[in-house]
Amino acid sequence: MIFVWGFMLIPFIAMCFIPFVKMKGKAIAVYSAVSMIAILTSYLAFRGLSGQNFDITLPGSLVSGPVQLHIDALSAWFMLIINFSFLTGGFYGIFYMRTYRSQAKNINLHAILFIILHTSLISLCAIQNSIVFLVAWEFMALSAFLSIIFEHEKIATVRAGINFLIQSHVSILFLTIGFIWVGSHTGSYDFSAIHSYSMTHSGALSLMLFLFFFTGFAIKAGFVPFHTWLPYAHPAAPAHISGIMSGVLIKIGIFGMLRMLLLIEVDYTTVGTIILVMSIISGVYGVMLAILQHNLKKLLAYHSIENIGIIGIGIGLGCIGLGTNNPVLCSLGFAGALLHTLNHSLFKSLLFFTAGNVYQATHTLDIEKLGGLVKKMPQTSILFLIAAIAISGIPPFNGFISEFILYTGLYNWMHNSLIVSLTGIAFTIMALVLIGGLAMMCFTKAFGVVFLGNPRQTFQHEVKEVSFLQLLPLYFIAAIIVFIGMFPGIFLNMLVKPVQLFTGIRQLPFASFQGNGMEALLSVSHASWYLIGIVIFMLGIRKLVLRKRTIEVLPTWNCAYAAPTAKIQYTASSFVKTYSKLFGMIFLIFKKEKEVEGIFPTNAHLETHPYDKIEKWFIDYPTTNLKKFLDRFTFVQNGRLQFYILYGILFIISIISIPLMYDKIIEFFEFLKEL
């Protein structure tokens, strides 16, 4: 009980303090609140990971009934990820927000929202009551929305925020329908009711119920085609919020899916296939569009969609493993998904934070205007490089480990399956490989264009590295990225309990990640050590050899062209030109072009804006039509006060009279039937 009180009181006290103290005090208040909550909940989470569940029942209210709090290994894993992201993101955010210190009120709100976001995300992992869950979910959505629109004087930011708000509420709508469905059938809003409902009802109904929850959570997680809010919300938000959003906010959707899988008894093979197909589409589509983006944060946002796809592939494989009673596939699938959730939260928040550094130094995120930052911001560049290698799934960093687990699962599945699933496996492998290759292309582009070469534009202000304290959390994240790559065994051991929850659904035998074709997961780290050892050895030799040699620094080879400028460099668009031509039919690229013509040519220009084809057909087309239809009812909104009062009265009358007249209406229908 003391934990619950502490958990509720700490944020409350901090929130009361924040408006009344100076800037430094606010920072301390926010950070101490976040770290206290983090310590408190991490303690419970570590206990959960070691198998000691935390259970408590609060009295609740008349509406919700008793509220169960339950922290098992799955909640614990996500709570730890959330806490880590908030600790690093909060620390980074304190220094990132220093530029805005003149906007005291805005900062107050932002600080309070930061705490609310943290507490709501943590509590979502523990709450076992539908109504309270929805309230916490709403808290999370609203605080995220308000955090996104921090720079609300920009119209694009507000638009992005509202886009997020609407889509969040569509997600809430689906969840609400799912919860009410269960609530109306069982009369209880406890999560255990979902389980008992699915046990007593036929497979098709459970599947429908699961799909409702899946859709709701998929919107939050950003599965294609529900991904369209991500590319707007991420660039609009301040860097630390983008990092946290991509790192943990969208992961709460993944958490929701996993939780529902534990609760709802469905045909796991079907569900797994659905998730797998959607994830493959998300993964490939996300990265394909990421390559085209010119805005660094938008590019990273599309990569979040891709990585959600990879996580989803893991969940899909795990479900299929459950459905086919294949313990190896099941454990590897879920382990890959859970580990990739952690990995993605690490490297993606690192990427967003470094992008934030770039934005602070140059005031732009348009990668076509950047270049050569490695000389001015060497530390940011190295951090970005580490994260870029990790996200491309290349050894020796953490991204490779989780992808390797998924590959191992896939190749294991291959040995005992037949033609249909084998074709599926082949496609999944191809998709994973393609995602890896495309991600590499995307990040060589991003790193090469933003940090390498010559500056493409001269800035009026000095471009300089951010302060060391701001870089400190980034170094910490980078260290963990390397650490997971080197010692994956530690993290795999932590994953044993969460994975056992899933294998336990069907009582599949799974004790640890050893034997049964899984021993490779540990030796893969030896290979990474070899790799790092050889790289260091070769660098040493190189240094030794070059010590006595003459080293000159001369201009780049330009075919003897005498006056090279920064403009002759390959740009981001030219880097992906061949690619975008090749896959032209998938993309929608708006082009504004004025060609060079005449004997004395005047200015020519070319502008391209990549757009999302799925957004066009799935979001824009329906909304424009809906708008057209609803435009016919604009006469209702005529702006006269009398009418609004009239509407109010009509509403109240109908609310009161319809129940009263219910019997009469029934009688009327009976009468009609008799006729």
Selected binder of other proteins within 487, 579, 611, 618 (CB under 8 A): 579
Mark the segment that binds other proteins (CB under 8 A) among 30-38, 95-103, 526-534, 620-628.
526-534
**Stretch binding other proteins (CB under 8 A), from 41-49, 68-76, 121-129, 544-552:** 544-552
Binding of other proteins at residue 535 (CB under 8 A)?
Answer: yes
**According to CB under 8 A, which one of 120, 171, 293, 408 is a site residue for other proteins?**
408
The correct pick among 20, 459, 468, 530 for binding other proteins (CB under 8 A) is 530
Question: 8 or 538, CB closer to other proteins?
Answer: 538
Q: Which two tokens stand for residue 406?
A: 């998924």
Written as one string, the DSSP assignment of 271-290 is HHHHHHHHHHHHHHHHHHHH
Q: Is 569 left (phi over 0), alpha (psi -120 to 50) or beta?
A: beta
Q: CB of 280 within 8 A of CB of 186?
A: no
Rule CB under 8 A: choose which of 97, 438, 463, 619 binds other proteins. 438
559 makes contact with other proteins (CB under 8 A): yes
Nearer to other proteins, 381 or 503 (CB): 381
- Written as six digits, the tokens of 219 are 């919107």
CA–CA gap between residue 280 and residue 274 (Å, rounded)? 10
Choices 304-312, 418-426, 499-507, 666-674; region in contact with other proteins by CB under 8 A: 418-426
What residues contact residue 65 under an 8 Å CB cut-off, 6+ apart?
129, 188, 189, 190
Structure tokens at 404: 């390797």
Q: Which of 303, 317, 332 is nearest to 274 (CA)?
A: 317
Which string of DSSP letters, residue by residue, matches 414-447? Answer: HTT--HHHHHHHHHHHHHHHHHHHHHHHHHHHHH
Tell me phi and psi for residue 278, to 5 degrees. -65, -35
For other proteins, the closer CB: 552 or 607: 552
Is position 449 an interface residue for other proteins (rule: CB under 8 A)? Answer: yes
Residue partners of 389: CB distance under 8 A and separation at least 6:
397, 399, 443
Q: Give CA angle at 422 (416, 428), nearest 5°.
A: 120
Closest CA to 446 of 340, 346, 379, 373: 373
CB of 357 to other proteins, least distance (A): 17
What stretches of 152-248 adopt beta strand conformation (E)? none
Q: Is 527 in the site for other proteins (CB under 8 A)?
A: yes
Q: Which of 519, 651, 653, 657 binds other proteins (CB under 8 A)?
A: 519
Q: Which region among 102-110, 240-248, 445-453, 491-499 touches other proteins (by CB under 8 A)?
A: 445-453
Position 208 contacts other proteins (CB under 8 A): no
CB of 333 to other proteins, least distance (A): 15
- Exactly one of 222, 231, 247, 393 binds other proteins (CB under 8 A); that residue is 393
Torsion of CA 448, 450, 456, 460, to 10 degrees: -160
CB-facing half-sphere around the CA of 233: CA atoms within 13 A: 31
Binding test (CB under 8 A) with other proteins, winner from 2, 63, 509, 552: 552
Among the listed ranges 76-84, 118-126, 419-427, 634-642, the one in contact with other proteins (CB under 8 A) is 419-427
Nearer to other proteins, 96 or 407 (CB): 407
Identity (one letter) of the amino acid at 532? I
The answer to whether residues 337 and 255 touch, using CB atoms and an 8 Å cutoff, is: no
Considering only residues 208, 441, 482, 588, which one is a binding residue for other proteins as defined by CB under 8 A? 441
Is 198 or 528 the residue whose CB approaches other proteins more closely? 528
Q: Between 117 and 405, whose beta carbon lies closer to other proteins?
A: 405
Q: Residues, the chain, total?
A: 675
For other proteins, the closer CB: 210 or 334: 334
Q: Please pick, from the candidates 550, 603, 634, 638, the single residue that binds other proteins as defined by CB under 8 A.
A: 550
Find the largest Cα–Cα distance for the chain. 108
Helix (H) or strand (E) holding 404: helix 398-414
Kindly tell me which residue out of 514, 558, 624, 625 binds other proteins, with binding defined by CB under 8 A. Answer: 558
| Distance in Å, CB of 307 to other proteins, minimum | 16
The CA–CA distances, whole Å, from 247 to 321, 387, 452 equal: 27, 13, 26
User: Among 211, 385, 501, 588, which residue interacts with other proteins (rule: CB under 8 A)?
Assistant: 385
DSSP state of 603: -
Interface mask toward other proteins for 467-506; x: CB under 8 A: ----------------------------------------
Binding to other proteins (CB under 8 A) within 254-283 occurs at none
What are the angstrom distances between the C-alpha of 603 and each of 173, 457, 607? 52, 19, 13
Least Cβ distance, residue 451 to other proteins (angstroms): 8
- CA–CA distance, 144 with 197 (Å, rounded to integer): 32
Cα 367 from Cα 570, distance rounded (Å): 12
Instruction: Please report whether residue 166 would count as binding other proteins according to CB under 8 A.
Output: no
Does 110 interact with other proteins (rule: CB under 8 A)?
no
Among 22, 24, 375, 594, binds other proteins (CB under 8 A): 375
Our CB check for other proteins shows the closer of 25 and 517 to be 517
Instruction: State the number of binding residues for other proteins (CB under 8 A).
Output: 84
**Contact call for residue 640 and other proteins (CB under 8 A):** no
Residues in 311-340 that interact with other proteins by CB under 8 A: none
Residues 355-374 that bind other proteins (CB under 8 A): 371-372, 374
Least separation in angstroms between CB 493 and other proteins: 18
Under rule CB under 8 A, residue 173 binds other proteins: no
Q: Does 429 bind other proteins (CB under 8 A)?
A: yes
- Cβ nearer to other proteins, comparing 557 with 633: 557
156 burial (CB, 10 Å; 0-12 / 13-18 / 19+) is: exposed
- CB-facing half-sphere around the CA of 520: CA atoms within 13 A: 15
Structure tokens at 609: 């804006």
352/239 Cα distance (integer angstroms): 6
